[in-house]
Structures are given as C-alpha cells and as structure tokens.
A and B are shown apart, each in its own frame.
Chain A
Amino acid sequence: MDYVLTVLLPQLLHGLVFGAALGLLALGLTVIFGLLGVMNFAHGELYMLGAYAGIVVIGVTHSFWVALIAAPILVGIVAAVTEVATLRPIYRREPLYGLILTFGLALVFREGARQIWGGDMRRILPPFTGSTPLLGMTYPNYRLFLLAASSVILLALWLFFTRTRAGIVVRAAVQDAEMLDGLGVDVRRVFTLTFAASGALAALAGLLLAPVFTVYPQMGVEMILLAFIVVILGGMGSMGGSVVAAFVIGVAQSLFSLWMNPQRVAIAIFGIMIVVLIVRPRGLFGREGVLE
C-alpha cells in the first residue's frame, strides 16, 4: 500500500500533467493534418517559439500571465504568415512535399531561434512557487496548475468544437475537407486561421511547460516525435482521439519508467506505435481510409 501511495500514484500524476500539455500540442497537429492534409514537421518549433515568445513578453511586462495570452497570439501570427507564404502553394501537391517543406521550416525556425536567443538554456520562473504535501511527497504547485490549466483549455476547446457553429464547421471539415467548399466558406481563410490557431496552441503548450523543462532551441525536436505518436495512436483527424491518446502516452511513459530503465521507455512507446500502425493504422478513433 505504501508503494502505491509514495511511488505509483505520484508517477501517475506526473503522467497526467505531462499528458495534458502533450494533448494541447497534439491537438493542433491533428487538426492541421485533418484539415490541410499536411503533417507539420515544424509543429515542435512552434511549441519552442511559444516558450521564447514567453521569455520576450515576460522580459517586457514581467508578467507570466500576460505572456500566457500574448505569446500564443504572437506565434499564431508567425504561423499565419508562414502558412500563406509557404504552405498555400503546395496544398494541391502530394503530401510528401508538405513533409519536406515543413522539415525545412523547422530547420529555419530552430536555427533562427538559436541565433536570436543563443544556444544556452533559459529559465522561465514559474509564476508561483511552493508545493503541496500530496501522496507522500511534496508536489510542486506549478505542476498542479499545469494540469488544471491544460484541462480547462482542453475543455474550452471541446465546447468550442461541439457547441459553436464555427467549431462544428471546422470539426466537420477536419473529417472531410472538401465539404468546406460546398458550404460556401472561404476555404483559404479557414485554413490560415486554423493553422494559426494550431500554432497558438502549440505555443501555449510550450510556454506552460517551460518552467518545468526550461527553454532551449532543441526543445521542439524532442516533443515532435511524441506528438506524432499521439496523433497516430489517437487517429489522424480525430481530435478527441488525440487528447485521449496524449493522456494514455503520458501515463504510459510515466508508469513504464517505474518498471524499466527510464531511458528504455521510449523503446516501449515506439513499440506500441509500431504495433498500432501495423494492426490498426487508423488508431483508436480515426476514420477509415486515411492511411489504408
């Protein structure tokens, strides 16, 4: 019983905290794929830029809370500009070009960030410190906040996608992009807005996780692979699926590190991924035919 309390449950909590933020990141990725048919390799870099934007805003306003609003907006603008300039021309081409193009974008963003802000690690101090005695250890308050904030945002997004007209339209379009045209909607504008929103979400995730993981140019590279896995597991184009999968992966990662060397955990996760791709490529909730 003691083991469950002092080791298992805290580990579970770690997993949920991480899974929540991962969900924010993966959600943007899946929406982009569903709607634009592009697997955005630069998504990790938008996440990274969110953290750096946060540093800039905090530097000016000294407020983490202001940054939480301003940084995603800034990155959203960058994403929108990028989409118009580089992605729009290639929608009609094979999706492989999208992969390669976003790979190039990732390089530019990553190196650009390194040039502007330097390669060393930066810290963003959590807006509040202190910890709560919880489950036999003292758990940092900020991580609890992270879990709460991510969950609230995910909930808000769910409401948007299920209760508002705009949300329903986008959701349907993610399932079937061609339908948008039929509705008389300005497709190009929707694409740009969605890409911008996806970037803003990634940026938000980046900023929220920054006080825990610190900020450095490579931080996106490490997350992007995990985000891909979540999206595939959840089902490409299924938003609910991505969120569920994010929690699953977050918790799995956390629990696995109890029983195997934490370094090998990645292998287990990848293993799961391969099995899923082989046996049920559409993932948990994806729709058939996307990859089959």
Chain B
Amino acid sequence: MKSVGWRALLVFAVLALVPLVPGMSRYYLLLAFDALLFGAIAMSLDLLMGYTGLVSFGHAAFYGLGAYATAIVMERGVLSIWVCVAFALLVVGLYALVVSYFATARRGIYFALLTLIFAEVVYTVFRYTQAFGGSDGIQGLPDATLLPGVAIDTPLRKYYLVLAYLAVAYVVCRVIVTSHFGRVLVAIRENEDRARFLGYNVQRYKMGACMVSALLTGLGGAIYPMRSAFATPDLMLWTESGEFIISVMIGGLGTLVGPVIGGAFFTILRDKVSSVVDWYFIVIGGVLIVIVLFMPRGLLGLRRLFARRTGGAAA
C-alpha cells in the first residue's frame, strides 16, 4: 500500500528484531509490550485529537471495556484470541456508538465533558459491581491461544502480539488519514462551520472518527489482559485518559507517529523513574504545561503542521 511507506516498514522491521538485542530480558520484553501498547493507543487517540480536533477525556473507558471483555470471556474458559477480540470490538463498539452519538451532538468542550462523564459511569459500574470483581477486578487469567494448541504464553509471543496490533492500528490510521475521509476531518478541525456549509454532515464524520479511535483503543485494551492476566477498574480512571492525552501531547498532535513515540517514552519513563524517584508526576505535569505554552503541537507536530499546510489540504 503506497500510503504505508517504506519508512514505516523499516521501523516495523527494526521493532521485530528487538527481542534479539543482547541483554533483552523477559522483563524488558514485557516493558516493551507496555510501551508499544500505550503508544498505539495514543496514536488512535491522535486520530481524534490531532486530526479531528476533539479531545476525549474518556478514552480509558474504551480501553478498560476492551480489557474486561477479554477477561470475562477468558474467565469462562474460552481462550481463543479471536473470540476475545471479536467480543471486545462488539462491546466497545456499542458503547462508543452511544457515546459518540451524544458527544458529537454539540460543540466545544461539550465533547470532552461528555466523554469524561460517560467514562466515569463505566468506571463506577465496574468498580462497584461484584460480578466484575469489584475494585479488585478479574484476576488470575490464563494465557490466550492463537490457534488451538498454540498459546501466547511467552513474553516473546506477547511482544509479537502487540507488534501485530500496532501494525494493524497504524495501517488503519494511515489509510484514514490519507483518504478523503481524513481530509474532511482536518477540515472540520480547522473550521467546523465551513465544513458544514460545504455540505458535509459534520456529526457523521466526527462520529466516524470517534468510533475508529474507540475501536482501535478497545482492541488495545482487549490484548492487555493477555499480558497482565487481569483486568481492573483502574484501567478506566479518567486519570488514565489523561495519560493518553499526555502521550499525544508529548509526541505531537496530528502526526500519528509522534504519539507512538510519546506513549512509548512516557511508559518507559514512568517505569524507570518511578522506582528511583516518586515525584515524577510533577515532572510530567510540568512537561505538559510547558508543551501547551510553548510547543502546543507537541514535539513533532509543528513541522508536520507546516508541511500539511503548504501541501494544500483544506481550502
């Protein structure tokens, strides 16, 4: 596919070779898993935030719902990854349909607030319902199976699982971004009224972007329990949504690749720094403030923004 590009293929090839790096322990492979997962989710959020201009403070709900969907399926003894993923997409899709329909109905910070509150409802439901394990969630899950007899049990296999997910997410995002649909999204971001006057059903496009972003995030959530063996309500806290947003901001709005790096960087930083120093949240908050004040398009965003402008996007 021409939209994917040779550079992306090169990066994926490098990533695929990571497990062969000397000194790569099981622990680091799992850390890499977390980093890439977070990065992929940040990327799908960027589709909504950077390209369409909608800030979702409730993305953690899509993530958490995907995780619980998998957990509920596996808890009942069904270990096939395909069943888990299908069920997760179904659940997240239904929820996202409802949320996106209502959240995109009006403008401005309305979207942010509604996604936030819907997510809080989901969190509260899962945290206080014993059937879902209450505040401890569902734990002790076994490994998922790719095919009957082929379990995704070693950190190596889990790593390739997340790599596959990243690839899928990237392809989907790239295709959208370079399509007509993607260009309309940018137009909506730039000037919603103008897009409407041009005859586009703005709400439909916003919903579409939201659904895609939600489904990709839900997919990420679906494969998380395959690494962690549990699903807990904390996955759905709005502070978790905040961390996705931070990753996107660090990496760069509207670049797709930036958030992946931002998310990975954030995950690794958090893991490394939290063992040494416990005030790293101040640093993260500070970084966010600095970015908003001086580098609003993130570290990578500025250049891409200019490129896009001169490339002749929306009229």
Binding site for B on A (CB under 8 A): 39, 86, 89-90, 93-97, 99-101, 103-112, 114-115, 221, 225, 228-229, 232, 261, 263-264, 266-267, 270-271, 273-274, 277-278, 281, 291-292
A103 with B288, Cβ < 8 A, contacts A274-B102, A291-B107 known: yes
Beta-carbon contacts of B283-294 to A below 8 Å, as 1s and 0s? 011111100110
Question: A residues within 8 A CB of B113?
Answer: 39, 228, 232, 277
| Distance in angstroms between the alpha carbons of A225 and B120 in the assembled complex | 9
Query: B124 contacts A108, CB within 8 Å?
Result: no
Q: Which B residues from 257 to 315 make CB contacts under 8 A with A?
A: 279, 281-282, 284-289, 292-293, 296
| Distance in angstroms between the alpha carbons of A275 and B57 in the assembled complex | 19
Most chain B CB within 10 A, of A110, A111, A229, A271, is at A111
- Cβ-neighbour of A277 out of B114, B121, B249 (below 8 A): B114
| Distance in angstroms between the alpha carbons of A259 and B284 in the assembled complex | 42
Chain A facing B: main interface SS: helix
Query: A274 contacts B114, CB within 8 Å?
Result: yes
Query: B109 contacts A104, CB within 8 Å?
Result: no
Query: B108 contacts A277, CB within 8 Å?
Result: no
Taking CB as reference atom, which chain B residue is nearest A38?
Answer: B109
Question: B residues within 8 A CB of A277?
Answer: 102, 110, 113-114, 117
Query: A274 contacts B117, CB within 8 Å?
Result: yes
Taking CB as reference atom, which chain A residue is nearest B292?
Answer: A101
Q: How far is the CB of A33 from chain B (nearest CB, A)?
A: 9
Query: B292 contacts A270, CB within 8 Å?
Result: no
| Distance in angstroms between the alpha carbons of A228 and B117 in the assembled complex | 10
Question: B residues within 8 A CB of A96?
Answer: 53, 55, 109, 112
Query: B55 contacts A99, CB within 8 Å?
Result: yes
Query: A101 contacts B289, CB within 8 Å?
Result: yes
Q: Is B242 an interface residue (CB 8 A)?
A: yes
Q: Is B2 an interface residue (CB 8 A)?
A: no
Query: B124 contacts A104, CB within 8 Å?
Result: no
Question: B residues within 8 A CB of A291?
Answer: 106-110
| Distance in angstroms between the alpha carbons of A183 and B289 in the assembled complex | 33
| Distance in angstroms between the alpha carbons of A106 and B124 in the assembled complex | 22
Question: B residues within 8 A CB of A292?
Answer: 106-107
Query: B112 contacts A111, CB within 8 Å?
Result: no
Q: How far is the CB of B61 from chain A (nearest CB, A)?
A: 12
| Distance in angstroms between the alpha carbons of A263 and B127 in the assembled complex | 9
| Distance in angstroms between the alpha carbons of A261 and B128 in the assembled complex | 10
A95 with B282, Cβ < 8 A, contacts A101-B288, A274-B102, A274-B117 known: no
Query: A89 contacts B293, CB within 8 Å?
Result: yes
A108 with B293, Cβ < 8 A, contacts A96-B109, A100-B249, A264-B124 known: no
List 14 additional A-B contacts (Cβ < 8 Å) besides A228-B117, A232-B113: A39-B109, A86-B289, A89-B293, A94-B53, A96-B53, A100-B288, A108-B289, A228-B113, A266-B124, A267-B128, A271-B121, A274-B118, A291-B107, A291-B110
Query: B286 contacts A108, CB within 8 Å?
Result: yes
- Cβ-neighbour of B102 out of A99, A229, A278 (below 8 A): A278
Q: Is B105 an interface residue (CB 8 A)?
A: yes
Query: B112 contacts A99, CB within 8 Å?
Result: yes
Interface residues on B, range: 35 or more
Question: A residues within 8 A CB of B279?
Answer: 111, 114-115
Q: Which B residues from 102 to 147 make CB contacts under 8 A with A?
A: 102, 105-110, 112-114, 116-118, 120-121, 124-125, 128
Question: A residues within 8 A CB of B281?
Answer: 107-108, 110-111
Q: How far is the CB of A26 from chain B (nearest CB, A)?
A: 14
Q: Which B residues from 78 to 122 make CB contacts under 8 A with A?
A: 102, 105-110, 112-114, 116-118, 120-121
Question: A residues within 8 A CB of B116?
Answer: 225, 228
Q: Is B239 an interface residue (CB 8 A)?
A: yes
Q: Is B245 an interface residue (CB 8 A)?
A: yes
Most chain B CB within 10 A, of A90, A270, A278, A292, is at A270
Query: B110 contacts A107, CB within 8 Å?
Result: no
Question: A residues within 8 A CB of B108?
Answer: 95, 291
Q: Which 3 A-B pairs have the closest CB atoms?
A: A107-B285, A104-B288, A108-B285
- Cβ-neighbour of A99 out of B107, B109, B285, B286 (below 8 A): B109
Query: A100 contacts B245, CB within 8 Å?
Result: yes
| Distance in angstroms between the alpha carbons of A203 and B288 in the assembled complex | 24
Question: A residues within 8 A CB of B102?
Answer: 274, 277-278
Taking CB as reference atom, which chain B residue is nearest A100?
Answer: B292
Taking CB as reference atom, which chain B residue is nearest A111?
Answer: B281
A103 with B242, Cβ < 8 A, contacts A108-B286, A277-B102 known: yes
Q: How far is the CB of B266 from chain A (nearest CB, A)?
A: 13
Taking CB as reference atom, which chain B residue is nearest A103?
Answer: B242
Taking CB as reference atom, which chain B residue is nearest A115?
Answer: B279
Taking CB as reference atom, which chain B residue is nearest A87?
Answer: B293
Query: B117 contacts A105, CB within 8 Å?
Result: no
Query: B120 contacts A104, CB within 8 Å?
Result: no
Q: How far is the CB of A102 from chain B (nearest CB, A)?
A: 9
| Distance in angstroms between the alpha carbons of A60 and B287 in the assembled complex | 34
Query: B282 contacts A115, CB within 8 Å?
Result: yes
| Distance in angstroms between the alpha carbons of A114 and B245 in the assembled complex | 23
Could you list some 12 contacts between A and B, CB below 8 A?
A39-B113, A86-B293, A90-B293, A96-B55, A101-B289, A101-B293, A108-B285, A111-B282, A112-B282, A225-B116, A277-B114, A291-B108
Q: How far is the CB of A283 from chain B (nearest CB, A)?
A: 12
Taking CB as reference atom, which chain A residue is nearest B54?
Answer: A96
| Distance in angstroms between the alpha carbons of A100 and B292 in the assembled complex | 8
